[in-house]
Structure 1
Amino acid sequence: MPKLHRENGLLPMFAELHAEERGDRLGVEVTFAIDPSIEKLAAAFYMDGSDSMRQAGNYGRGGGLFGFNFGKQRNPVQDAMHIMVPYMTQKDADGVCRVAYWATGKQGKDLEVIGELNAEVAATFEFRGPETFGGGTYLLPAVRDFVAYIQELRQKSDVRAAIAAIVTDGQLHDFDDLIAYTQELARAIMNNDFPRTNIVLVGVGSEIDEEQLEQLEEATPAEYTGRDIWCHAEAATVDDLPELVAHLLDANIPAFWGGALLKDEQGKIIQAWEDLVPAVIEFELSATARSFTLQVGSERYTQSLEGLGEH
């Protein structure tokens, strides 16, 4: 895939630009150059610690004859978290990510907090799973913990945005309470009592409730301005999580706020953002396109594609 380098005219506001021929179209992926310390974003990650995750062998336990396992088993959750958590630390202003298991304890209403990990620690941390795998799947305690964590950070530093990634493998048992709390959180954000927030929820496996995930995306009140609080995606297996979570984070982490317009050479609007402009944007142009323009307010930034060579 052709890449435009800085010496070939890549604008300073962009970190990377890749292009790919698609017949008579040119697919373009642009990554903004972001300084997390300037964006003041805080990140957290919550992994499902319910017993169904253990039974499925996602922690390298369970699933054996009569519940016993023979020999050392691979821990898919640990392998995935060794990729996902360090990736999230890159987005955090302090270079750390709060990590916890949720849906733990006898009823699945508890959390086991690991702590705030930096990239180096997270890459080798032993994510063996919670001490007590949960008997239910209650998500609200994790969301409350996330909110409390952000509020605690705000007492010590400026937090302008917050993002959490949450993994689940089943039906949420406190769905109605979660909907109500989402509306409370939205009001707090609109009143400037809480920073702008995005929660990425990824369902993994065949037992997830797709309807719940879709309804949760729609739980943000209609009067809320900006991107909805929740977004979701589905993964077939735990091994699929790193790539999927990275994509969702890039789509929901801000490059900047305030909206923007993306236009082709003829001035036609290709994409428009009312508020959050994501860290990674993808779009298509004509295969013969020589440039595109990003308009932010009254400012226009035109990126030449000549450095890509022949399309």
Structure 2
Amino acid sequence: MGHEKPVEPFSDLHFEDGKVRAVLLHDPTVEGLDMAIYMDASGSMKDEYDYKQESRSFLEWLRGAPQKQASNQVEPQVQWMLEYLATKDRNGLLRVAYWACGASGKDVEVIGELKGTDVKSYKFPGAQRLGNYTNMTPALKDYVKYLKEQVPQGARRGCAVIVTDGKLHDPDEVKAFSAEVAKEIRAGRLPRLNFVLVGVGDNIDEEQLEDIAHAEFPGVGHLWCHRIAQEITQVAELVAVLVDENMTVAAGGTIYDDKGKILKSYEGRLPAVLEFDVPEGTESFTLEVNGQRYTQPLPDEDHHDEDEDEEDHH
């Protein structure tokens, strides 16, 4: 017999000398993932939201090229994030909102549930009222409320991306609310969720972000991860990396052989490439994640005529 075809969620399978190398096609831990993007709309972001008319070069003017469309720095980043994150979302729709709006900086302006496929038609000019303060707790509350409403529709997991360019005015409230969220997750009243926090520019208080992100909660682990981008133009790429890294943090995963014996356990992180040994004569293995089981038949061993020298090292 030749190779067994990989079954979903595996995209590639290699089996030799009792060693299995299985590559995940997509992350089975994020089934039912509901994503959202919250963009800082405090006054300090004014320049980034301003539409600037890009002027035509002399040559373009001579050729009669049309005037370039005005754009701002935020728009392409949100469009890029939306397009990418929608591929991970359970229905391809993301809640997108501005936060830190209004005089108190406590208002949240929801733009809507946006499709990843229509990104070029969306404009992101900033909130109607840019805020005077950077209060993040209202954005977290908005997302948690939204996620609870999505559970009956199939949401099993949550991830909110939050972008800020300044020092938070409510770090203690953020920490207190995070502890509440962790309690709700532990009690089964909320699906497991993550907050991905990206700070932009030089006015970020990195210590403050680290303090929030490093908190660990019993039975839940970390809720937050964070990074700093020097420029707004680096945000989308950073977010993609963070989401990829952190959305693998599910309730771990366990690999069993065909007799039900545990071969390997992943505590909190399921890597994209799973490597483990199987006993001789094993015909399949099963990956269990979040109560879901995926059984992958093993091909006949990829035998080589020449016995490859086993290097004697640990």
Same fold, TM exceeding 0.5? Answer: yes
1:167 aligns to 2:160 (yes or no): no
Matches within 5 A, 1:179-258: 179-221=175-217, 223=218, 225-254=219-248, 257-258=251-252
Amino acid in structure 1 at the alignment position of 2:6: L
Question: Take 1:8 and 1:47, find their aligned partners in 2: how far apart are those partners?
Answer: 48
- In structure 2, relative to structure 1, the CA distance for the partners of 1:16 and 1:234 (3 Å cut) is farther
Number of matched pairs: 261
Amino acid in structure 2 at the alignment position of 1:202: V
Amino acid in structure 2 at the alignment position of 1:205: G
Helix, strand or coil for the counterpart of 1:138?
Answer: coil
- In structure 2, relative to structure 1, the CA distance for the partners of 1:134 and 1:13 (3 Å cut) is same
Amino acid in structure 1 at the alignment position of 2:245: A
Alignment-derived partner of residue 121 in structure 2: 124
Helix, strand or coil for the counterpart of 2:222?
Answer: coil
RMSD value over aligned CA atoms?
Answer: 3.7
Amino acid in structure 1 at the alignment position of 2:149: E
- In structure 2, relative to structure 1, the CA distance for the partners of 1:296 and 1:283 (3 Å cut) is closer
Contact 2:213-2:224 within 8 A present in 1 as well: yes
**Which runs of 5 or more structure 1 residues have no equivalent in the other structure?**
1-6, 18-27, 63-70, 262-268, 285-293, 307-311
Amino acid in structure 2 at the alignment position of 1:149: Y
Question: Take 1:131 and 1:141, find their aligned partners in 2: how far apart are those partners?
Answer: 17
- In structure 2, relative to structure 1, the CA distance for the partners of 1:295 and 1:193 (3 Å cut) is same
Contact 1:12-1:33 within 8 A present in 2 as well: no
Alignment-derived partner of residue 49 in structure 2: 59
1:76 Cα offset (Å): 1.3
Question: Take 1:34 and 1:273, find their aligned partners in 2: how far apart are those partners?
Answer: 14
1:261-303 residue CA offsets vs partner (Å, 9 max, x unmatched): 7xxxxxxx9x97313526xx3799xxxxxxxxx9846999779
Helix, strand or coil for the counterpart of 1:189?
Answer: helix
Amino acid in structure 2 at the alignment position of 1:60: D
Contact 1:227-1:276 within 8 A present in 2 as well: no
Helix, strand or coil for the counterpart of 2:188?
Answer: coil
- In structure 2, relative to structure 1, the CA distance for the partners of 1:9 and 1:77 (3 Å cut) is farther
Q: Which has the higher contact order (CA 8 A, sep 6+)?
A: 2
Contact 2:249-2:268 within 8 A present in 1 as well: no
Question: Take 1:46 and 1:80, find their aligned partners in 2: how far apart are those partners?
Answer: 12
Question: Take 1:214 and 1:253, find their aligned partners in 2: how far apart are those partners?
Answer: 19
Alignment-derived partner of residue 93 in structure 1: 90
- In structure 2, relative to structure 1, the CA distance for the partners of 1:10 and 1:229 (3 Å cut) is farther
Partner residue of 2:7 out of 5, 12, 15: 12
Question: Take 2:299 and 2:43, find their aligned partners in 1: how far apart are those partners?
Answer: 51
